[in-house]
Structure 1
Amino acid sequence: MACQGLASGETLKSLKAESETLRKKLEEERKKLHDVELEKVAEKAEALGELNMKTRRTLKGHGNKVLCMDWCKDKRRIVSSSQDGKVIVWDAFTTNKEHAVTMPTTWVMACAYAPSGCAIACGGLDNKCSVYPLSLDKDENLAAKKKSVAMHTNYLSGCTFTNSDMQVRD
Protein backbone atom coordinates (compact mmCIF):
# COMPACT_ATOMS: atom_id res chain seq x y z
CA MET A 1 0.00 0.00 0.00
CA ALA A 2 1.31 3.48 -0.87
CA CYS A 3 0.48 4.98 2.52
CA GLN A 4 2.49 2.49 4.61
CA GLY A 5 5.33 5.00 5.20
CA LEU A 6 2.99 7.67 6.64
CA ALA A 7 2.93 8.46 10.34
CA SER A 8 -0.20 7.52 12.25
CA GLY A 9 -3.14 9.80 11.50
CA GLU A 10 -1.59 11.25 8.33
CA THR A 11 -3.15 10.64 5.00
CA LEU A 12 -1.93 11.26 1.52
CA LYS A 13 -4.62 13.94 1.17
CA SER A 14 -3.33 15.88 4.20
CA LEU A 15 0.25 15.69 2.94
CA LYS A 16 -0.79 17.03 -0.47
CA ALA A 17 -2.60 19.91 1.25
CA GLU A 18 0.48 20.71 3.33
CA SER A 19 2.65 20.59 0.22
CA GLU A 20 0.32 23.02 -1.57
CA THR A 21 0.35 25.39 1.44
CA LEU A 22 4.16 25.38 1.53
CA ARG A 23 4.31 26.01 -2.23
CA LYS A 24 2.02 29.06 -1.87
CA LYS A 25 4.11 30.44 1.01
CA LEU A 26 7.24 30.04 -1.09
CA GLU A 27 5.63 31.95 -3.98
CA GLU A 28 4.60 34.76 -1.60
CA GLU A 29 8.16 35.05 -0.26
CA ARG A 30 9.54 35.16 -3.80
CA LYS A 31 7.09 37.95 -4.71
CA LYS A 32 8.27 39.98 -1.69
CA LEU A 33 11.85 39.78 -2.93
CA HIS A 34 10.87 40.51 -6.54
CA ASP A 35 9.74 44.05 -5.81
CA VAL A 36 11.47 45.82 -8.72
CA GLU A 37 12.65 44.99 -12.23
CA LEU A 38 16.38 44.62 -12.92
CA GLU A 39 16.27 47.34 -15.60
CA LYS A 40 15.05 49.92 -13.07
CA VAL A 41 17.79 49.01 -10.60
CA ALA A 42 20.41 49.20 -13.36
CA GLU A 43 19.30 52.73 -14.31
CA LYS A 44 20.10 53.93 -10.78
CA ALA A 45 23.51 52.24 -10.60
CA GLU A 46 26.49 54.56 -10.83
CA ALA A 47 28.79 54.18 -13.79
CA LEU A 48 32.17 52.69 -13.05
CA GLY A 49 35.04 55.11 -13.16
CA GLU A 50 37.70 54.91 -15.81
CA LEU A 51 39.75 51.78 -15.39
CA ASN A 52 43.33 52.74 -14.71
CA MET A 53 45.68 49.92 -15.63
CA LYS A 54 49.46 50.02 -15.67
CA THR A 55 51.96 47.59 -17.11
CA ARG A 56 53.91 46.11 -14.20
CA ARG A 57 56.27 43.79 -16.05
CA THR A 58 56.73 42.76 -19.67
CA LEU A 59 57.67 39.15 -20.27
CA LYS A 60 59.72 38.91 -23.45
CA GLY A 61 60.54 35.60 -25.06
CA HIS A 62 57.85 34.46 -27.47
CA GLY A 63 58.53 34.93 -31.16
CA ASN A 64 54.88 35.23 -32.14
CA LYS A 65 51.43 35.92 -30.69
CA VAL A 66 50.70 34.57 -27.22
CA LEU A 67 47.54 32.47 -27.43
CA CYS A 68 47.05 31.37 -23.82
CA MET A 69 48.42 31.90 -20.31
CA ASP A 70 47.63 30.70 -16.82
CA TRP A 71 48.73 31.76 -13.35
CA CYS A 72 50.04 29.26 -10.84
CA LYS A 73 48.20 29.13 -7.52
CA ASP A 74 51.33 30.54 -5.82
CA LYS A 75 50.55 33.83 -7.66
CA ARG A 76 54.16 34.11 -8.73
CA ARG A 77 54.59 31.92 -11.79
CA ILE A 78 52.89 32.02 -15.19
CA VAL A 79 52.78 29.53 -18.06
CA SER A 80 52.22 30.90 -21.56
CA SER A 81 51.87 29.36 -25.01
CA SER A 82 52.11 30.96 -28.41
CA GLN A 83 52.08 30.61 -32.18
CA ASP A 84 55.84 30.11 -32.19
CA GLY A 85 55.37 26.60 -30.77
CA LYS A 86 56.86 27.40 -27.38
CA VAL A 87 55.47 26.94 -23.91
CA ILE A 88 57.30 29.07 -21.34
CA VAL A 89 57.09 29.01 -17.55
CA TRP A 90 57.88 32.45 -16.12
CA ASP A 91 58.71 33.91 -12.74
CA ALA A 92 56.39 36.92 -12.92
CA PHE A 93 58.29 38.83 -10.22
CA THR A 94 61.71 38.67 -11.86
CA THR A 95 60.51 38.15 -15.49
CA ASN A 96 62.95 35.22 -15.77
CA LYS A 97 62.09 32.13 -17.79
CA GLU A 98 62.08 29.08 -15.53
CA HIS A 99 61.35 26.48 -18.23
CA ALA A 100 60.81 26.49 -21.99
CA VAL A 101 59.49 23.67 -24.17
CA THR A 102 59.28 23.64 -27.95
CA MET A 103 56.18 21.76 -29.04
CA PRO A 104 55.89 19.67 -32.23
CA THR A 105 53.32 22.14 -33.60
CA THR A 106 53.63 25.89 -34.05
CA TRP A 107 50.18 26.73 -32.73
CA VAL A 108 50.08 25.92 -29.02
CA MET A 109 46.62 27.19 -28.24
CA ALA A 110 46.11 25.97 -24.68
CA CYS A 111 48.12 25.79 -21.47
CA ALA A 112 47.32 25.34 -17.79
CA TYR A 113 49.06 25.06 -14.44
CA ALA A 114 48.34 22.15 -12.11
CA PRO A 115 46.90 23.20 -8.73
CA SER A 116 50.11 22.13 -6.94
CA GLY A 117 52.31 24.04 -9.40
CA CYS A 118 54.28 20.85 -10.12
CA ALA A 119 53.05 20.30 -13.69
CA ILE A 120 51.71 22.07 -16.76
CA ALA A 121 49.37 20.86 -19.50
CA CYS A 122 49.34 22.18 -23.05
CA GLY A 123 48.24 21.40 -26.57
CA GLY A 124 47.06 22.84 -29.84
CA LEU A 125 47.09 21.87 -33.49
CA ASP A 126 48.91 18.62 -32.68
CA ASN A 127 45.54 17.29 -31.40
CA LYS A 128 47.15 16.17 -28.12
CA CYS A 129 46.96 17.25 -24.52
CA SER A 130 50.46 16.89 -23.08
CA VAL A 131 51.46 17.11 -19.43
CA TYR A 132 54.96 18.11 -18.35
CA PRO A 133 56.10 17.62 -14.75
CA LEU A 134 58.11 20.60 -13.48
CA SER A 135 61.14 20.44 -11.23
CA LEU A 136 63.48 22.92 -9.60
CA ASP A 137 66.27 21.95 -12.00
CA LYS A 138 66.07 24.60 -14.72
CA ASP A 139 68.45 22.68 -16.99
CA GLU A 140 66.30 19.56 -16.99
CA ASN A 141 64.91 18.40 -20.34
CA LEU A 142 61.15 18.72 -19.89
CA ALA A 143 60.40 17.28 -23.32
CA ALA A 144 61.82 13.92 -22.19
CA LYS A 145 59.29 13.78 -19.33
CA LYS A 146 56.27 14.65 -21.49
CA LYS A 147 53.15 12.51 -21.14
CA SER A 148 50.44 12.69 -23.80
CA VAL A 149 47.26 12.17 -21.84
CA ALA A 150 44.63 12.69 -24.55
CA MET A 151 44.43 12.35 -28.32
CA HIS A 152 41.72 14.22 -30.16
CA THR A 153 40.32 14.09 -33.66
CA ASN A 154 40.56 17.87 -33.80
CA TYR A 155 42.77 20.60 -32.34
CA LEU A 156 42.89 21.41 -28.64
CA SER A 157 41.55 24.92 -28.01
CA GLY A 158 41.62 24.92 -24.21
CA CYS A 159 42.60 22.86 -21.19
CA THR A 160 42.52 23.18 -17.44
CA PHE A 161 43.29 21.02 -14.45
CA THR A 162 40.42 20.13 -12.17
CA ASN A 163 41.07 20.49 -8.44
CA SER A 164 43.52 17.62 -8.77
CA ASP A 165 46.91 17.32 -10.46
CA MET A 166 45.74 13.97 -11.82
CA GLN A 167 42.85 15.15 -14.00
CA VAL A 168 42.89 17.51 -16.99
CA ARG A 169 39.75 18.80 -18.64
CA ASP A 170 40.15 19.84 -22.26
Structure 2
Amino acid sequence: MVKDDAETAALKTELNELIEKSKEESKKQADCKLAEKCGDMGAVPKCHLSTKKTLKGHINKVNSVHFAGDSRYCVSGSLDGKLIIWDTWTGNKVQVIPLRSSWVMSVAYSVSGNYVACGGMDNMCTIYDVNNRDASGCAKIVRELAGYEGFLSSCRFIDDSHILTGSGDMKLCVWDLEAGKKTSEVAAHGGDVVSLSLSPDGNQFVTGSVDRTCKLWDVRDCKQIQTFFGHTSDVNSVTFHPSGYAFATASEDKTARLFDIRSDQQIGHYEPPNKTSGFTSCALSLSGRMLLCGSDDNNIHIWDTMTAQHNSTLGGHDNRVTSICMAPNGMALVSSSWDQAVRVWV
Protein backbone atom coordinates (compact mmCIF):
# COMPACT_ATOMS: atom_id res chain seq x y z
CA MET A 1 0.00 0.00 0.00
CA VAL A 2 2.86 2.38 0.89
CA LYS A 3 4.52 1.58 -2.43
CA ASP A 4 1.28 2.27 -4.33
CA ASP A 5 0.87 5.61 -2.54
CA ALA A 6 4.44 6.58 -3.41
CA GLU A 7 3.94 5.65 -7.07
CA THR A 8 0.69 7.64 -7.20
CA ALA A 9 2.39 10.68 -5.65
CA ALA A 10 5.25 10.40 -8.13
CA LEU A 11 2.82 10.22 -11.07
CA LYS A 12 0.91 13.26 -9.80
CA THR A 13 4.16 15.20 -9.46
CA GLU A 14 5.21 14.23 -12.97
CA LEU A 15 1.80 15.19 -14.35
CA ASN A 16 1.88 18.59 -12.61
CA GLU A 17 5.35 19.22 -13.99
CA LEU A 18 4.15 18.43 -17.50
CA ILE A 19 1.16 20.75 -17.08
CA GLU A 20 3.39 23.59 -15.89
CA LYS A 21 5.76 22.97 -18.80
CA SER A 22 2.82 23.12 -21.19
CA LYS A 23 1.68 26.43 -19.66
CA GLU A 24 5.16 27.92 -20.00
CA GLU A 25 5.38 26.87 -23.65
CA SER A 26 1.98 28.46 -24.32
CA LYS A 27 3.07 31.72 -22.68
CA LYS A 28 6.12 31.87 -24.95
CA GLN A 29 3.84 31.81 -27.99
CA ALA A 30 1.65 34.68 -26.73
CA ASP A 31 2.93 38.01 -28.03
CA CYS A 32 0.49 40.02 -25.90
CA LYS A 33 -2.53 39.75 -23.61
CA LEU A 34 -6.05 40.40 -24.89
CA ALA A 35 -6.75 43.01 -22.21
CA GLU A 36 -3.55 44.87 -23.11
CA LYS A 37 -4.26 44.81 -26.83
CA CYS A 38 -7.83 46.03 -26.32
CA GLY A 39 -7.02 48.56 -23.62
CA ASP A 40 -7.68 51.51 -25.93
CA MET A 41 -11.18 50.31 -26.87
CA GLY A 42 -12.77 52.03 -23.93
CA ALA A 43 -15.21 50.48 -21.50
CA VAL A 44 -18.67 49.46 -22.66
CA PRO A 45 -21.66 51.02 -20.84
CA LYS A 46 -22.85 49.35 -17.68
CA CYS A 47 -25.08 46.37 -18.37
CA HIS A 48 -28.42 47.18 -16.71
CA LEU A 49 -30.28 43.90 -16.99
CA SER A 50 -33.26 43.64 -14.68
CA THR A 51 -35.61 40.83 -13.71
CA LYS A 52 -38.46 40.83 -16.22
CA LYS A 53 -40.17 37.74 -14.80
CA THR A 54 -39.71 35.68 -11.65
CA LEU A 55 -40.90 32.17 -12.46
CA LYS A 56 -42.22 30.51 -9.31
CA GLY A 57 -43.50 26.96 -9.17
CA HIS A 58 -40.70 24.78 -7.85
CA ILE A 59 -40.71 23.90 -4.14
CA ASN A 60 -37.05 22.86 -3.84
CA LYS A 61 -33.65 23.84 -5.19
CA VAL A 62 -33.55 24.44 -8.96
CA ASN A 63 -30.37 22.94 -10.37
CA SER A 64 -30.53 23.60 -14.10
CA VAL A 65 -32.26 25.70 -16.75
CA HIS A 66 -32.00 25.76 -20.55
CA PHE A 67 -33.60 27.71 -23.41
CA ALA A 68 -35.29 26.20 -26.46
CA GLY A 69 -34.16 27.31 -29.90
CA ASP A 70 -37.06 29.75 -30.25
CA SER A 71 -35.72 31.91 -27.37
CA ARG A 72 -39.18 31.87 -25.79
CA TYR A 73 -39.58 28.61 -23.90
CA CYS A 74 -37.19 27.23 -21.31
CA VAL A 75 -37.08 24.14 -19.12
CA SER A 76 -35.99 23.96 -15.49
CA GLY A 77 -35.20 20.96 -13.32
CA SER A 78 -35.50 20.89 -9.54
CA LEU A 79 -34.92 18.63 -6.58
CA ASP A 80 -38.69 18.70 -6.06
CA GLY A 81 -38.81 15.98 -8.73
CA LYS A 82 -40.32 18.17 -11.45
CA LEU A 83 -39.38 19.56 -14.82
CA ILE A 84 -41.27 22.74 -15.65
CA ILE A 85 -41.50 24.15 -19.16
CA TRP A 86 -42.00 27.92 -18.99
CA ASP A 87 -43.17 30.58 -21.41
CA THR A 88 -40.62 33.27 -20.56
CA TRP A 89 -42.64 35.96 -22.36
CA THR A 90 -45.72 35.55 -20.17
CA GLY A 91 -44.21 33.85 -17.12
CA ASN A 92 -46.71 31.02 -17.35
CA LYS A 93 -46.09 27.31 -16.89
CA VAL A 94 -46.64 25.37 -20.12
CA GLN A 95 -46.08 21.88 -18.70
CA VAL A 96 -45.13 20.30 -15.40
CA ILE A 97 -43.42 16.94 -15.88
CA PRO A 98 -43.07 14.65 -12.82
CA LEU A 99 -39.78 12.75 -12.70
CA ARG A 100 -39.10 9.23 -11.50
CA SER A 101 -36.06 10.54 -9.62
CA SER A 102 -35.92 13.91 -7.92
CA TRP A 103 -32.11 14.11 -8.05
CA VAL A 104 -31.96 15.98 -11.34
CA MET A 105 -28.66 17.71 -12.17
CA SER A 106 -28.96 18.69 -15.81
CA VAL A 107 -31.71 19.60 -18.26
CA ALA A 108 -31.65 20.29 -22.00
CA TYR A 109 -34.15 21.61 -24.53
CA SER A 110 -33.77 20.55 -28.15
CA VAL A 111 -33.28 23.40 -30.62
CA SER A 112 -36.50 22.40 -32.39
CA GLY A 113 -38.44 22.58 -29.13
CA ASN A 114 -39.83 19.07 -29.61
CA TYR A 115 -37.95 17.33 -26.80
CA VAL A 116 -36.51 17.93 -23.35
CA ALA A 117 -33.96 15.77 -21.57
CA CYS A 118 -32.86 15.44 -17.97
CA GLY A 119 -30.69 13.29 -15.74
CA GLY A 120 -28.81 13.22 -12.48
CA MET A 121 -28.16 10.87 -9.61
CA ASP A 122 -30.37 8.21 -11.21
CA ASN A 123 -27.46 7.50 -13.60
CA MET A 124 -29.80 7.86 -16.54
CA CYS A 125 -30.76 10.33 -19.27
CA THR A 126 -34.51 10.55 -19.85
CA ILE A 127 -36.01 12.06 -23.01
CA TYR A 128 -39.54 13.52 -23.11
CA ASP A 129 -41.62 14.41 -26.16
CA VAL A 130 -43.30 17.69 -25.21
CA ASN A 131 -45.77 17.48 -28.12
CA ASN A 132 -47.26 14.13 -27.06
CA ARG A 133 -48.85 13.48 -23.70
CA ASP A 134 -49.80 10.32 -21.87
CA ALA A 135 -53.12 9.56 -20.18
CA SER A 136 -52.22 11.72 -17.19
CA GLY A 137 -51.54 14.72 -19.45
CA CYS A 138 -47.76 14.70 -18.99
CA ALA A 139 -45.17 14.64 -21.75
CA LYS A 140 -44.44 11.10 -22.88
CA ILE A 141 -41.12 9.43 -22.12
CA VAL A 142 -39.63 8.41 -25.46
CA ARG A 143 -36.27 7.11 -24.23
CA GLU A 144 -34.54 6.15 -20.99
CA LEU A 145 -30.82 5.96 -21.69
CA ALA A 146 -29.21 3.77 -19.05
CA GLY A 147 -25.77 2.24 -18.69
CA TYR A 148 -23.86 4.98 -16.87
CA GLU A 149 -21.56 4.07 -14.00
CA GLY A 150 -21.87 7.55 -12.52
CA PHE A 151 -24.38 10.37 -12.26
CA LEU A 152 -25.45 12.25 -15.38
CA SER A 153 -23.94 15.73 -15.05
CA SER A 154 -24.65 17.30 -18.44
CA CYS A 155 -26.60 16.72 -21.64
CA ARG A 156 -27.19 18.61 -24.89
CA PHE A 157 -29.17 17.72 -28.01
CA ILE A 158 -27.13 17.58 -31.21
CA ASP A 159 -30.44 17.30 -33.10
CA ASP A 160 -33.80 15.63 -32.51
CA SER A 161 -32.25 12.21 -33.18
CA HIS A 162 -28.98 12.48 -31.23
CA ILE A 163 -27.96 13.63 -27.77
CA LEU A 164 -24.56 14.16 -26.17
CA THR A 165 -24.05 13.37 -22.47
CA GLY A 166 -21.30 13.73 -19.89
CA SER A 167 -21.27 11.85 -16.59
CA GLY A 168 -19.59 11.17 -13.28
CA ASP A 169 -17.90 8.06 -14.67
CA MET A 170 -15.61 10.45 -16.62
CA LYS A 171 -17.16 9.44 -19.96
CA LEU A 172 -18.82 11.10 -22.92
CA CYS A 173 -21.55 9.35 -24.88
CA VAL A 174 -23.39 10.13 -28.08
CA TRP A 175 -26.77 8.41 -28.33
CA ASP A 176 -28.94 7.61 -31.32
CA LEU A 177 -32.39 8.33 -29.89
CA GLU A 178 -34.32 6.49 -32.58
CA ALA A 179 -32.37 3.28 -31.95
CA GLY A 180 -31.84 3.94 -28.23
CA LYS A 181 -28.17 2.98 -28.56
CA LYS A 182 -24.80 4.62 -28.05
CA THR A 183 -22.98 5.54 -31.23
CA SER A 184 -19.89 6.72 -29.32
CA GLU A 185 -18.49 6.26 -25.83
CA VAL A 186 -15.11 7.62 -24.76
CA ALA A 187 -13.17 8.02 -21.53
CA ALA A 188 -12.99 11.80 -21.68
CA HIS A 189 -11.37 13.18 -18.50
CA GLY A 190 -9.54 12.25 -15.35
CA GLY A 191 -12.55 13.27 -13.29
CA ASP A 192 -16.29 13.90 -13.54
CA VAL A 193 -17.38 15.52 -16.81
CA VAL A 194 -19.30 18.48 -15.38
CA SER A 195 -20.31 20.60 -18.36
CA LEU A 196 -20.39 20.63 -22.15
CA SER A 197 -21.23 23.09 -24.91
CA LEU A 198 -21.78 22.62 -28.65
CA SER A 199 -20.16 24.91 -31.20
CA PRO A 200 -22.44 27.19 -33.27
CA ASP A 201 -21.97 24.98 -36.36
CA GLY A 202 -22.64 21.82 -34.35
CA ASN A 203 -19.45 20.09 -35.51
CA GLN A 204 -17.47 20.47 -32.28
CA PHE A 205 -18.09 20.61 -28.57
CA VAL A 206 -16.10 21.54 -25.49
CA THR A 207 -16.16 19.88 -22.06
CA GLY A 208 -15.22 20.98 -18.55
CA SER A 209 -14.25 18.64 -15.73
CA VAL A 210 -13.31 18.41 -12.08
CA ASP A 211 -9.84 17.43 -13.32
CA ARG A 212 -9.38 21.21 -13.92
CA THR A 213 -9.08 20.89 -17.70
CA CYS A 214 -11.24 21.68 -20.71
CA LYS A 215 -11.18 19.64 -23.90
CA LEU A 216 -12.29 20.25 -27.46
CA TRP A 217 -13.92 17.38 -29.35
CA ASP A 218 -15.17 16.54 -32.83
CA VAL A 219 -18.87 15.63 -32.72
CA ARG A 220 -18.73 13.30 -35.72
CA ASP A 221 -16.36 10.72 -34.22
CA CYS A 222 -16.13 11.96 -30.59
CA LYS A 223 -12.40 12.43 -31.09
CA GLN A 224 -10.39 14.72 -28.81
CA ILE A 225 -8.77 17.65 -30.62
CA GLN A 226 -7.24 19.85 -27.90
CA THR A 227 -6.76 20.06 -24.13
CA PHE A 228 -6.72 23.40 -22.31
CA PHE A 229 -5.09 24.02 -18.93
CA GLY A 230 -5.25 27.01 -16.60
CA HIS A 231 -7.86 26.53 -13.91
CA THR A 232 -6.75 25.41 -10.46
CA SER A 233 -10.05 23.82 -9.42
CA ASP A 234 -13.19 22.24 -10.90
CA VAL A 235 -14.36 23.68 -14.23
CA ASN A 236 -18.09 23.93 -13.48
CA SER A 237 -19.28 25.38 -16.77
CA VAL A 238 -18.20 25.94 -20.38
CA THR A 239 -19.86 27.86 -23.20
CA PHE A 240 -18.82 28.36 -26.81
CA HIS A 241 -18.15 31.85 -28.14
CA PRO A 242 -20.66 32.83 -30.87
CA SER A 243 -17.77 33.03 -33.37
CA GLY A 244 -16.93 29.36 -32.80
CA TYR A 245 -13.25 30.23 -32.35
CA ALA A 246 -13.19 30.48 -28.55
CA PHE A 247 -15.02 29.38 -25.41
CA ALA A 248 -15.52 30.71 -21.89
CA THR A 249 -15.33 28.83 -18.61
CA ALA A 250 -16.49 29.26 -15.01
CA SER A 251 -14.65 27.55 -12.19
CA GLU A 252 -14.65 26.74 -8.50
CA ASP A 253 -11.29 28.57 -8.34
CA LYS A 254 -13.24 31.89 -8.29
CA THR A 255 -12.23 32.84 -11.84
CA ALA A 256 -13.76 32.81 -15.29
CA ARG A 257 -11.57 32.49 -18.36
CA LEU A 258 -11.63 32.80 -22.12
CA PHE A 259 -9.72 30.26 -24.23
CA ASP A 260 -8.84 30.76 -27.88
CA ILE A 261 -8.97 27.60 -29.97
CA ARG A 262 -6.70 28.79 -32.78
CA SER A 263 -3.87 29.88 -30.48
CA ASP A 264 -4.48 26.86 -28.20
CA GLN A 265 -4.35 28.88 -24.98
CA GLN A 266 -6.06 31.14 -22.47
CA ILE A 267 -6.50 34.75 -23.60
CA GLY A 268 -8.81 36.17 -20.95
CA HIS A 269 -8.87 36.06 -17.13
CA TYR A 270 -11.82 37.42 -15.15
CA GLU A 271 -12.27 37.86 -11.40
CA PRO A 272 -15.15 39.28 -9.33
CA PRO A 273 -14.60 42.29 -7.04
CA ASN A 274 -14.99 40.25 -3.83
CA LYS A 275 -13.05 37.13 -4.93
CA THR A 276 -14.73 35.03 -2.24
CA SER A 277 -17.06 32.75 -4.20
CA GLY A 278 -16.70 30.18 -6.93
CA PHE A 279 -18.61 30.25 -10.22
CA THR A 280 -21.22 27.67 -11.11
CA SER A 281 -22.19 28.61 -14.67
CA CYS A 282 -21.39 30.95 -17.54
CA ALA A 283 -22.90 32.46 -20.69
CA LEU A 284 -21.82 34.87 -23.41
CA SER A 285 -23.77 37.66 -25.06
CA LEU A 286 -24.72 37.27 -28.72
CA SER A 287 -21.76 39.45 -29.77
CA GLY A 288 -19.38 37.71 -27.38
CA ARG A 289 -18.44 41.05 -25.82
CA MET A 290 -20.04 40.35 -22.44
CA LEU A 291 -19.33 37.34 -20.22
CA LEU A 292 -21.86 36.47 -17.51
CA CYS A 293 -21.25 34.04 -14.64
CA GLY A 294 -23.55 32.71 -11.93
CA SER A 295 -21.91 32.58 -8.53
CA ASP A 296 -22.07 31.03 -5.08
CA ASP A 297 -22.53 34.58 -3.73
CA ASN A 298 -26.14 34.62 -5.09
CA ASN A 299 -25.23 37.05 -7.88
CA ILE A 300 -24.52 37.04 -11.60
CA HIS A 301 -21.29 38.82 -12.51
CA ILE A 302 -20.67 40.48 -15.87
CA TRP A 303 -17.35 41.36 -17.55
CA ASP A 304 -16.22 43.02 -20.75
CA THR A 305 -14.39 40.10 -22.41
CA MET A 306 -12.07 42.40 -24.38
CA THR A 307 -10.77 44.63 -21.57
CA ALA A 308 -11.32 42.11 -18.72
CA GLN A 309 -13.06 44.84 -16.71
CA HIS A 310 -15.83 43.87 -14.30
CA ASN A 311 -18.91 45.56 -15.74
CA SER A 312 -21.76 44.97 -13.30
CA THR A 313 -23.44 42.61 -10.86
CA LEU A 314 -26.99 41.29 -11.14
CA GLY A 315 -28.57 40.76 -7.73
CA GLY A 316 -31.96 39.25 -7.02
CA HIS A 317 -31.57 35.62 -6.11
CA ASP A 318 -31.59 34.76 -2.41
CA ASN A 319 -29.32 31.73 -2.67
CA ARG A 320 -26.64 30.14 -4.85
CA VAL A 321 -27.12 30.69 -8.59
CA THR A 322 -26.86 27.20 -10.08
CA SER A 323 -27.33 27.73 -13.81
CA ILE A 324 -27.67 30.50 -16.38
CA CYS A 325 -28.53 30.33 -20.08
CA MET A 326 -28.53 33.03 -22.75
CA ALA A 327 -31.44 33.01 -25.22
CA PRO A 328 -30.25 32.03 -28.72
CA ASN A 329 -31.38 35.42 -30.03
CA GLY A 330 -29.38 37.19 -27.29
CA MET A 331 -32.40 39.13 -25.99
CA ALA A 332 -32.78 37.50 -22.56
CA LEU A 333 -31.03 35.50 -19.89
CA VAL A 334 -32.55 32.89 -17.58
CA SER A 335 -31.08 31.87 -14.24
CA SER A 336 -31.93 29.21 -11.67
CA SER A 337 -31.08 29.11 -8.01
CA TRP A 338 -31.29 27.22 -4.76
CA ASP A 339 -33.86 29.87 -3.75
CA GLN A 340 -36.38 27.74 -5.76
CA ALA A 341 -36.91 30.47 -8.37
CA VAL A 342 -36.12 30.92 -12.07
CA ARG A 343 -35.53 34.49 -13.22
CA VAL A 344 -35.79 35.99 -16.69
CA TRP A 345 -33.41 38.93 -17.18
CA VAL A 346 -33.88 41.48 -19.97
| TM norm structure 1 | 0.70
2:86 is the alignment partner of 1:90 = yes
Residue 133 of structure 1 deviates from its aligned partner by: 0.5
TM-superposition CA deviations, 1:86-134 (whole Å, max 9, x none) = 1111111121111112212222111111121111111111110000001
Q: Is the 8 A contact 2:70 2:111 kept in 1?
A: no
Alignment of 1:79-118 (within 5 A): 79-118=75-114
Aligned residue for 2:67? Answer: 71
Distance 1:157 1:114 in 2: 17
Unaligned runs of 5+ in 2: 1-30, 166-346
Q: Is the 8 A contact 2:95 2:138 kept in 1?
A: no
| Structure 2 counterpart of 1:165, from 160, 173, 193 | 160
- Structure with the larger helix share: 1
Distance 1:69 1:58 in 2: 13
Q: Is the 8 A contact 1:129 1:151 kept in 2?
A: no
Aligned residue for 2:138? Answer: 141
Residue 137 of structure 1 deviates from its aligned partner by: 6.2
Amino acid at match of 2:55: L
- Between the aligned residues of both structures, percent identity stands at 34
Aligned length: 134
Amino acid at match of 1:140: G
| Structure 2 counterpart of 1:152, from 148, 152, 160 | 148
The secondary structure found in structure 1 opposite 2:54 is coil
Question: Residues 155 and 133 (structure 1 numbering): CA distance in 2 closer, same or farther, change over 3 Å?
Answer: same
Distance 1:42 1:140 in 2: 54
Aligned residue for 1:20? Answer: none
Amino acid at match of 1:121: A
| Structure 2 counterpart of 1:122, from 115, 118, 141 | 118
Aligned residue for 1:44? Answer: 40
Q: Is the 8 A contact 2:120 2:153 kept in 1?
A: yes
Q: Is the 8 A contact 2:108 2:156 kept in 1?
A: yes
| TM norm structure 2 | 0.36
Question: Residues 108 and 130 (structure 1 numbering): CA distance in 2 closer, same or farther, change over 3 Å?
Answer: same
Q: Is the 8 A contact 1:128 1:148 kept in 2?
A: yes
TM-superposition CA deviations, 1:64-105 (whole Å, max 9, x none) = 121111111111111110121211111111211111122122
The secondary structure found in structure 2 opposite 1:151 is coil
TM-superposition CA deviations, 1:21-72 (whole Å, max 9, x none) = xxxxxxxxxxxxxxx7336424434234332110011111111121111111
Q: Is the 8 A contact 2:96 2:138 kept in 1?
A: no
Larger of the two Rg values belongs to structure: 1
Distance 1:131 1:54 in 2: 33
